[in-house]
Amino acid sequence: MKTEDKPKYVSELREIIYKLDIAKLISSPDQSITGQGILRAKAIFTNFDHGTGEKLETLINEFLEVARAGKRIDHIRNLANDIRNFIIKKTEEMDVYVIEPDDKPLFDVLDNLKKIQKLIAEGLARPEEKQQVLSDAKQKAKLFQDELYKRRAEKIEKKTLWSKQTHDGFVASDEGSQLQPWIDLFENYLGQSKIKRRLEKEGLWIQSNIEGEDEHLFVGKKDGAKDKVHLVIDGGTGEVRIDPKDLAPHDLLSEIKTILKMKTGEKILSTRTSLEFLEDTDNKIMPQVSVYTSDKGDYFLLEICNSGSEDVDNFIVKVFWRQPEGDKSRILEKYIGENDNPVMAYPYKLNILRKGERKFAVNIPSISLDKKIRVSVSCTGVSSNKKFDKDFEFETPDQYK
């Protein structure tokens, strides 16, 4: 994906998100996957990062399998929301990722090579245009960061190119093939465009550049100085190298740790002074909350269930809906127990939700302009201190006419 094309794709993804109708997706899953632009979103993500496209495809297939069966409507709705939330999250990540701007001159040369090749094929290219684009390609190939591609450029450059001119002064139409090796070279090189990720905190900045198989980590102070630590992690061997042209690591870093994950699942922590196995806690302790709508008599309630492996607290549950006068939102602060009568029970604040426990939020909007409410749930695992944030969408019993 080119740098200049990314804003266009981000804008298109946001339009897809805005128009995505969860109710239609649930009622007509196969038609909506195509009709609401979800497959288009998958194509955009695949163009940007193949792994992201594959992950969305997995979510789509999981949703379709359950939705086609037509059972467990709340589960279907949650899977639909998972698709929507994934597209939202990855769109924002794509928006802040920066394709290395140094590659723009290379993209420009590639575009010119293709333009002149097309003119040659139509018998409309002048000899000086062909020579100029070949000269530009040779010069810009020197910007390649990969030594292998530099040598490929040298090899192409040494080939003798014959040129003949037509009687009308234009380049012969069969000479367009002479540009093809350069086009292939630039396309292959730019196909592995570098992607940046950047963090900033407490006077420091950390940036990760993915270049081919390698990861380059840069660490510096937010004081305007250009000095930085530069670590290179070899994607093939796992070796960590130091770039001697930059700061020594001990100027900013106290320790470098490497975690190896074996195919058998074990994790190994390696430092300069130790080597040890790590306990895999990825799936042992993790906050997880499920949300459903529930009818108790004539009351429309929201069911909050702790479906994870630990107790959770620091709850913030917020509901969003539309009324004729505009969008509304409310923080839900009143709850009743699983066995409480909605009429007789006295609602209380939700402080902590034990593992396997469920509570019911009251004062839920039962009518909206689009027959939908969105619920945002945020809480923290008591043991792991990990954060849980997720949005859910439900239908309301009634709709404004």
* Predicted confidence pLDDT, tens digits, the chain (401 residues): 666 788 889 999 999 998 888 888 888 888 888 888 999 999 999 888 777 888 899 899 989 988 888 777 888 888 888 899 999 988 988 887 766 545 678 888 988 999 999 999 888 998 899 999 999 999 999 888 778 888 899 999 888 777 776 668 888 888 888 999 999 888 878 765 455 566 666 677 787 776 656 777 888 887 666 677 888 887 666 677 787 777 776 777 777 777 877 777 678 887 766 778 876 555 566 788 988 887 776 788 899 999 888 889 988 999 999 998 889 999 998 899 887 887 778 888 888 898 888 899 988 898 999 999 999 999 999 888 888 999 998 888 889 87
Assigned domain for 14 exists: yes
The domain boundary, picked from 163, 190, 217, lies at 190
Is the same domain home to 297 and 393? Answer: yes
Contact between 287 and 379 (Cβ < 8 Å): yes
Contact between 362 and 301 (Cβ < 8 Å): yes
- Alpha-carbon gap, residue 346 to 340, rounded angstroms: 9
For 279-351, strand residue ranges (E) read 289-296, 299-306, 312-323, 326-331, 335-337
Q: Hey, what long-range contacts does 335-338 have (CB within 8 A, 24 or more apart)?
A: 335/304, 335/359, 335/360, 335/361, 335/362, 336/301, 336/360, 336/362
Q: What integer pLDDT is reported at residue 153 of this predicted model?
A: 92
- Comparing CA positions, the residue from 9, 40, 39, 38 lying closest to residue 22 is 38
Is the same domain home to 244 and 294? Answer: no
Q: What is the CA radius of gyration of the chain?
A: 28
Which token pair is 170?
């234009």
Give the distance between the most distant pair of CA atoms in the chain.
98
Is the same domain home to 260 and 183? Answer: no
Is the same domain home to 294 and 388? Answer: yes
Which token pair is 24?
């239609």
Dihedral sign for Cα 87, 88, 94, 97, please: negative
Which token pair is 112?
């010119």
Q: What integer pLDDT is reported at residue 192 of this predicted model?
A: 53
Contact between 108 and 153 (Cβ < 8 Å): no
Q: What integer pLDDT is reported at residue 197 of this predicted model?
A: 60
Is the same domain home to 390 and 299? Answer: yes
- Comparing CA positions, the residue from 112, 119, 101 lying closest to residue 182 is 112
Q: What integer pLDDT is reported at residue 106 of this predicted model?
A: 84
Is the same domain home to 27 and 115? Answer: no
- Comparing CA positions, the residue from 148, 149, 113, 114 lying closest to residue 132 is 113
3-state secondary structure 223-280: CCCCCCEEEEECCCCCCEEECCCCECHHHCCCCCCEEEECCCCCEEEECCCCEEEECC
Q: What integer pLDDT is reported at residue 146 of this predicted model?
A: 77
Is the same domain home to 317 and 359? Answer: yes
Q: What integer pLDDT is reported at residue 321 of this predicted model?
A: 93
379 CB-contact burial (10 Å; exposed 0-12 / middle 13-18 / buried 19+): buried
Summarised one tens digit per residue, pLDDT across range 295-354 is 776 788 899 999 888 889 988 999 999 998 889 999 998 899 887 887 778 888 888 898
Is the same domain home to 372 and 294? Answer: yes
Contact between 376 and 317 (Cβ < 8 Å): yes
Q: Is the pTM of this model over 0.85?
A: no
Is the same domain home to 340 and 369? Answer: yes
Is the same domain home to 159 and 112? Answer: yes
Q: Which residues form the domain of 249?
A: 195-278
Q: How many domains does the chain have?
A: 4
